[in-house]
Amino acid sequence: MSNSVTKGKLVKLAPMLPLAVVSAVANAHANEPQELAVTKAKAEQQQTYNAERSTSHKNTQSLADTPKSVSIITQDLMRDQGVDSLRDAMRNIAGISLAAGEGGAPTGDNLSIRGFSAQNDIFIDGMRDIAGYYRDIYNLEAIEVSKGPSSAQAGRGSTGGTITLSTKSAKLDNFNEVSARLGTESDYRLTLDTNIKLNDISAVRVNALVDDGDVAGRDYVNNSKTAVSVNAATGLGTATRLTINGEYQKQDNLPDYGLPWVPTSDKTYIDVLEPYKGKAPNVPYSNFYGNIYRDFEDIEAQVITAKLEHDLSANTLVRVQGRVGAVERQSVVTAPRFKDATKSANIRLDDEKTRDTENRMAALQADLMGRYFTAGIQHDLVAGIELANEKFERWNFVSTTDNLISDGVTNDLFNPQQHAYTGKYHREGNSTLAEGKSIALYVIDTLTLDPQWQLTLGLRHDSFDVDYHYDYVDSAKVLTSDISEFSWNSALVYKANQDTNWYLAAGNSFNPSAEGLTFSTSTGSNLDELDPEQTTSYEFGVKQQWFDDVLSTSVALFQITKDNARTRELDGSYTLHGEQRVKGIEFAATGKVSRNFDIVTSLSLQDSEVLSASEREAATIGSELPRTPKVSASLWGRYQATDKLAIGLGANYIGKRYNSSDAVTRRVAEGYTLVNMMVTYQVNADLDVQLNATNLFDKEYIDQLGGGHFIPGEGRYIGLSANYRF
């Protein structure tokens, strides 16, 4: 593929971007009127891309004073861009990439941050979410991405960072909003957001969603979902506040494993495949190699969360939050694989992947937060305990009547067809069961030493015990793991002036083999006997506020090193003799460039490398980490042309990526640039209409990378929505 923006040009321009943005902002502010009309000021107050504080209660300072890279995607930004999913929202943050479901991982939000998987590092209102599925944003007020190892705050995992979803909460107000959208993919989307003030201290808020449509640029693929969330709160504005939230969602999807990679091999392939070894085949990216009569994905998720907050004094708060939830999934998806590339271009239909699973969780989190003074030093303190019980159960999901398998049916790579299917899949026999129990104690203290210096120290201890009953027939067969780990972080902030903060931060994380509750049980595997991987990160950065804090910019240099990475030996066993490193620089700017112009932009330049590995994996040494582009960038701008009309335009660039680190067998996905746009018109005080176009130039590109297949990105999509408030 050709790139409209080359890596070389981006690298050369990178050091000039902060100066260019600041220069443009300075000129714009110097020439604009300083007085705003009352109505205009009110509109600007309601419309914002620039968040002031973290959504996490463990970050006690403003974002400007928080010594790490934290990006927040606001509800206004998501609305302007017309995004529906967590994956699409993540395109606003450079340094994040996507993986396809494979190797035991289900389809869903398989994200990587700074080169390391964050599949198990997604949190909802500060508590770990469970299972892999595609998350909708209908009930979100904000999405926060915190980069760098975060085990001192988040526990296991969090090697590259964490993603926190902040849900909508009841307010002491009365409002209603109904949104409807129709699009070019025979799709529709309806959302409801209604808040009712019950009395002076109580309120209830209901959000609901109905969404159905095809996927742009993909034949046959369709997703359908319904969801409802109810949030009830009492004690608002008093010393004791109770919030209870319940959510249910159901998805009915045609799962998509995309297109097969042409495998790398010493063998000679047929003429139409030989030139594409290790690459995508030369076919339309719309081709679908599954079977619409067999493939399906049904997901049901339900969760109940209760939060109690009590102000012990003006300086001390007690916060207790509990959650129970479950996610059930049944699915059959066809993995596209060549039958024999030396003889034909036929794609097998007998490599079906089935899942019949249930994830369950019960968790409790209790925190003491306060501001105290000792010897003239201010302490902003968070101390807490977390308890969690997570379970993952899986059943065999089989068919003895699948004619696509028994008849050896194949598809033509260049002309895939939908073949008749007469079978049926069902649950069979017993299940496997993995159960993880965790207990964590932590304390985080930010010390304000004087008006210019702040020191943040964090310490956490996790006990994480896993029992994995891995045999469908004999439930007595079990693998166990008992982990006890300390995690830490520290950071120093120097406030050069009221607008400029310099910081130096360090921290660590740990990754148990059973981070996702299960182990590999392949021959020779000894993962249950290994200690966790350990990762250390250093970050040096500067955060700058401009023009009365309406614009925020940041630059960060970072290095993440995993110095005992798991690597597989010749006999099939695993050791901790590997080493991986990612280092780079990131730039971000968010807020108002002028009275009528808002921007969100980020740039990530990363250098990832496997520094050492076992003899069996020697081909990975010196290679990049999977799905880690050297360059990625995002830019979005919104211009308020008149009191009623606003226009938005943006672009996303992702550089070349590989699906693995093996220099011999890896496949390459070329870089790409996407252009998106928005036009919105305020008809009256209650009604606005909005037109969104994503992938405006209908670029074909590889979005999610798997080992044997890849999933193309969505083609051009145009949607027209109406939002009515009353």
User: Which CATH number belongs to the domain containing residue 200 in this structure?
Assistant: 2.40.170.20
Domain count within the chain: 1
Residue ranges of the chain with pLDDT lower than 70?
1-46, 101-105, 523
Going by C-alpha positions, the residue among 533, 535, 591 that lies closest to residue 566 is 533
On the 0-12 / 13-18 / 19+ scale of CB atoms within 10 A, 143 is buried
With beta carbons less than 8 A apart as the criterion, state whether 627 and 4 touch.
no
Query: Cβ–Cβ contacts within 10 Å for residue 698, how many?
Result: 12
User: Distance (Å, rounded) from C-alpha 56 to C-alpha 63?
Assistant: 11
- Between β-strands 96-99 and 702-705, what pairing exists: parallel, antiparallel or unpaired? parallel
With beta carbons less than 8 A apart as the criterion, state whether 368 and 352 touch.
no
Instruction: For residue 387, give every residue at least 6 positions away whose Cβ sits within 8 Å of its Cβ, in sequence order, or none.
Output: 363, 364, 365, 438, 439, 440
User: Distance (Å, rounded) from C-alpha 127 to C-alpha 431?
Assistant: 27
The residue range of the domain holding 689 is 7-725
Residue 30 is classified by DSSP as: H
Going by C-alpha positions, the residue among 693, 715, 710 that lies closest to residue 218 is 715
Query: Cβ–Cβ contacts within 10 Å for residue 572, how many?
Result: 12
Residue 597 located in a structural domain: yes
Structural element, H or E, at residue 13: helix 7-13
* pLDDT score, position 105: 62
User: Distance (Å, rounded) from C-alpha 719 to C-alpha 192?
Assistant: 18
* pLDDT score, position 101: 61
Alpha-helical regions (H) of 82-211: 86-89, 151-154
Q: What are phi and psi of 75, to 5 degrees?
A: -60, -35
User: Distance (Å, rounded) from C-alpha 661 to C-alpha 610?
Assistant: 8
Residue 715 located in a structural domain: yes
The residue to which tokens 């959000």 are assigned: 207
Q: What is the value of pTM for the model shown?
A: 0.91
* pLDDT score, position 1: 42
Residue 375 is classified by DSSP as: T
* pLDDT score, position 525: 81
Structural element, H or E, at residue 76: helix 75-81
Residue 650 located in a structural domain: yes
Residue 1 located in a structural domain: no
Going by C-alpha positions, the residue among 209, 233, 109 that lies closest to residue 703 is 109
Return the C-alpha torsion angle 266, 269, 272, 277, nearest 10: -20
Tokens of 582: 């990612």
Residue 588 located in a structural domain: yes
For 593-621, the pLDDT digits (tens) are 999 999 999 999 999 999 999 999 999 99
Residue 161 located in a structural domain: yes
- Between β-strands 500-511 and 479-497, what pairing exists: parallel, antiparallel or unpaired? antiparallel
Residue 532 located in a structural domain: yes
* pLDDT score, position 103: 54
User: Distance (Å, rounded) from C-alpha 534 to C-alpha 77?
Assistant: 36
80 backbone φψ class: left, alpha, beta (φ>0; ψ -120 to 50)? alpha
With beta carbons less than 8 A apart as the criterion, state whether 114 and 560 touch.
yes
Residue 201 located in a structural domain: yes
* pLDDT score, position 110: 87
137 backbone φψ class: left, alpha, beta (φ>0; ψ -120 to 50)? alpha
